[in-house]
Structure 1
Amino acid sequence: MAGSQAGHVSNNPSGSASSAPRHLPWFVRSDARSWTCAPPPAEVGDFHAGQPGYAPTALTELPTLAGELGVGRLFVKDESSRLGLPAFKALGASWAIHRVLSQRTNNGSPVRLVTATDGNHGRAVARMARLFGQRAHVFVPQGVHPTAVAAIANEGADVTPVPGSYDEAVRRAADEAADGQDAVLVQDTAWPGYERIPGWIVEGYSTLFAEIDAQLGAVGAGSPGLVAVPVGVGSLAQAAVAHYRSRPAGPAPAALLSVEPDSAACVLASLGHRAPVSVPTGATTMAGLNCGTVSSLAWPSLRDGLDAAVAVTDADSADAARDLAAVGVSSGPCGAASLAGARAALTGEGAAERRTALAVDGASTVVLLSTEGIAANPHTQEERS
């Protein structure tokens, strides 16, 4: 499995093994918090603030989970309702489509926005295409639940099933966009030669982190000590790196933890090799994270700016989703992965070493990104029914 390729603790960028237990699919490096990068554009937040229905999503404090993880305060950024959709993806899709349309020389002609998706990104592109008066064509890989596919179609998009993996659906979407003069690929993963639009999508996610800053400040929590981010191709994690590594160095910069399914841990494997690695993917309830290839645009930021990566099982995610539901947070399997990953990193055998590597202690503030609500992933609804 992908996680086993990097299933050790590394306390330096070269990825050498240490004495920590080898059964946890885990990678850590010591100098990520000293790396810096350019900040995202300031105008992104203003754009989102002007969109119909915009409001900051909730940042919910959960003292019981803070006690379980042995930290001072724990917050969940709840993306179960974002611009009318049950996931954060609308932030990136709206900003990218806005930029695409604003740069077209013939703004009067319609454009067909083409993408591939495991669910939430495709629905966001379809919704934003409709709101901007454009058309959408979405390629959906094998394994996406029929209810999620129907939700995309209900946004007015043309939907093409692909009898293969997410990576194959991306290839089909790219080919379709290349063949049509009126078509533009709006994909949230990048490869050499296709990086501008994925870059705009990443910029769009910056609004989420700006909201977290304001919300933590409002409750006197200051800056987070650890932020856990669910990862598919790595675009949201890239946005997290851009936000937290573009600040002037402070006494306690945030540690950034990526969390993936153990059946599709391409970032974890790539960090272990210090180079992008494509991994075969298997079935997982964390459908939106079921990606075998890291975005080429995200990779340099993840390589240099992530503190750690961990892979979790479907059972771990399901447990986390149930526990979040019990305290009033609607979280699908992808969103709940952040709690599962924080549990894996901060508790259990070898936790003392991992906590030291992340500089997390009993006074730390932890932020978990719950990237989707239950409604975004029908697998969860079926399991609960």
Structure 2
Amino acid sequence: MINPHRDPSWTCPPAPAEIRDFHRSLPGYSPTRLVELPELAARTGVGRLFAKDESSRLGLPAFKALGASWAIHRALRDVTGGPVTIVTATDGNHGRAVAHFARRFGQRAEIYVPDGVHPAAIQAIRDEGAAVIHVPGPYDAAVEAAAGARRGLLIQDTAWDGYEETPARIVDGYSTLFAEIDEQLPVPADMVLVPAGVGSLLQAALAHYRSRPDPAATRVVSVEPSVAACVSASVAAGRPVTVATGPTRMAGLNCGTVSSLAWPYIHRGLDLCLTVTDAEVSGAARALAAHGVDAGPCGAAPLAALNLLAPAGATVVLLVTEGTAANPAG
């Protein structure tokens, strides 16, 4: 679906430059690889096709490490006294990243998970030393429970009225990913396909590409599960709406409400929004694996969407946001 509210002249400020320096200072940091996929480019009809492979990022199998590390680092600057408990809700990767960096920074973590999160993903959070609390119901219910815990330091990657500073820092943390792409791409990107849950990574992509001198040069496309398409529904309505969600292998994208912080960027900056099914994503994951890219269901979603779009002759970047270790497909 084309965004009817897209404003090609709309611009926004870039993320703070200090974030890249912070990530470079972390033990184990290195840019994740950008893989060119000429055979898949030929199959889909695009000019050149690249996958940003986030299957190994700062010791974790997903991009979420970038946002969680920066947000926790900044939040702890304002904490006085002893250790705190860091709290969040998750459908998988964000919670594991929060638990990981809470431990690395000497803090405790308490992670709220909704129905539908794979047991292996829950165990991975526990393996980081965090307490896991199951909340019956969808992702939004887990967010509500974490926000209402009334203890600890909330590090949530979705925003609502009155809770925006920390989600903004998480989004800013993702800016490192796009700075790396700029350095790695041999030619400018015509199109970037971004998996969208609540919209935080999508917001980061839009902040990056719409802060440039030519804000319309790169088309940004959101990709969602057909059973959890809150971005598409909101774009169609011209305002944020909440949708009922259904079961999907794309657990990290199974979100019913767009982040209030992301919405202004989406409303004016997003070019297209697409939805994909579990079957389409399974095929895309197999295709990526055959070309040496390890992709979990969420990470394979952009290729599945590209098969529906196929912009002839374009240079396209797929954000493969997770590996199979982050979100088992079973």
TM range (shorter): over 0.9
C-alpha separation between the residues in 2 aligned to 1:377 and 1:86? Answer: 9
Of residues 309, 312, 315, the one that matches 1:361 is 312
* CA shift digits 1:304-362 (9 cap, x unpaired): 1100001110001111000000001000000000111111122xxxxxxxxxxxxx431
1:308 to 272, 276, 298: 272
Query: 1 CA distance for matches of 2:94 and 2:49?
Result: 27
Give 1:30 deviation, angstroms: 7.5
Alignment TM-score, normalising by the size of structure 1: 0.84
Deviation at residue 163 of structure 1 after TM alignment? 1.1
Q: Secondary structure at the match of 1:27?
A: coil
User: In the aligned structure 2, how far is the partner of 1:230 from the partner of 1:32?
Assistant: 21
Closer/same/farther in 2, CA of residues 196 and 66 from structure 1, 3 Å limit: same
What is residue 343 of structure 1 aligned with on the other side? 307
What residue is the counterpart of 1:56 in the other structure? Answer: 31
Match status 1:79 vs 2:54: yes
Equivalent residue for 1:35?
A: 10
The equivalent residue for 1:253 is 217
TM-score, structure 2 as length reference: 0.98
Question: Pick from 88, 91, 96: which aligns with 1:118?
Answer: 91
What displacement does 1:126 show?
0.1
Partners of 1:152 and 1:374 lie apart in 2 by 15
User: Shift of residue 35 of structure 1?
Assistant: 1.5
Cα distance between partner residues in 1 of 2:14 and 2:116: 36
Residue among 159, 175, 182 paired with 1:206: 175
Residue identity in the other structure for 2:312: D
Query: What are the residue-to-residue correspondences of 1:117-266 with 2, within 5 Å?
Result: 117-176=90-149, 179-180=150-151, 183-216=152-185, 220-221=186-187, 223-249=188-214, 253-266=217-230
Aligned length: 330
* Superposition deviation, residue 31 in structure 1: 4.2
> Percent identity of the aligned residues?
63
Could you say what secondary structure the match of 2:2 adopts?
A: strand
Within 2, Cα distance between the matches of 1:134 and 1:65?
44
**What is residue 66 of structure 1 aligned with on the other side?**
41
Q: Is the 8 A contact 1:129 1:136 kept in 2?
A: yes
Determine helix, strand or coil for the equivalent of 2:148: helix
- In the alignment, structure 1 segments of 5+ residues that lack a partner are 1-25, 347-359
SS in 1 for 2:197: coil
For 1:375, what is the secondary structure of its paired residue?
coil
Q: What letter matches 1:196 in structure 2?
A: E
Following the alignment from structure 1 to structure 2, what is the Cα–Cα distance between the partners of residues 207 and 341?
24
Hey, what does 2:327 align to over in structure 1? 377
In structure 2, the CA distance between the partners of 1:297 and 1:31, relative to structure 1 (3 Å rule), is closer
Structure 1 residues 140 and 30 mapped into 2: Cα distance closer, same or farther (>3 Å)? Answer: closer
> SS in structure 2 opposite 1:52?
coil
Which stretches of structure 1, 4 residues or more, deviate above 6 A after TM superposition? none
Render the CA deviation track for 1:162-216: whole Å, top value 9, x for unaligned.
111100000000001xx22xx1110000000000000000000000000000001
Computing the radius of gyration from Cα coordinates, the structure with the larger value is 1
2:50 aligned partner, one-letter code:
F
Output the amino acid matched with 2:162: G
1:97 is matched with which residue? 72
Aligned match of 2:21: 46
Contact 1:77 1:367 in 2 (8 A): yes
Q: 1:85 Cα deviation (Å)?
A: 0.3
State the alpha-carbon separation in 1 of the partners of residues 219 and 124 from structure 2: 36
* Separation (CA, whole Å) in 2 of partners of 1:194 and 1:30: 26
Distance of 1:72 and 1:27 partners within structure 2: 22
Name structure 2 gaps, 5 residues minimum: none
Alpha-carbon displacement from aligned partner over 1:117-141 (angstroms, at most 9, x marks no partner): 0000000000000000001000010
Q: Which amino acid aligns with 2:321?
A: T
SS at match of 1:149: helix
Q: Which amino acid in the other structure matches residue 376 of structure 1? A: A
Q: Retained in 2: the 8 A contact 1:33–1:307? A: no
Please report the RMSD computed on the Cα atoms of aligned residues, expressed in angstroms: 1.1
In 1, the alpha carbon distance for the partners of 2:240 and 2:40 equals 34
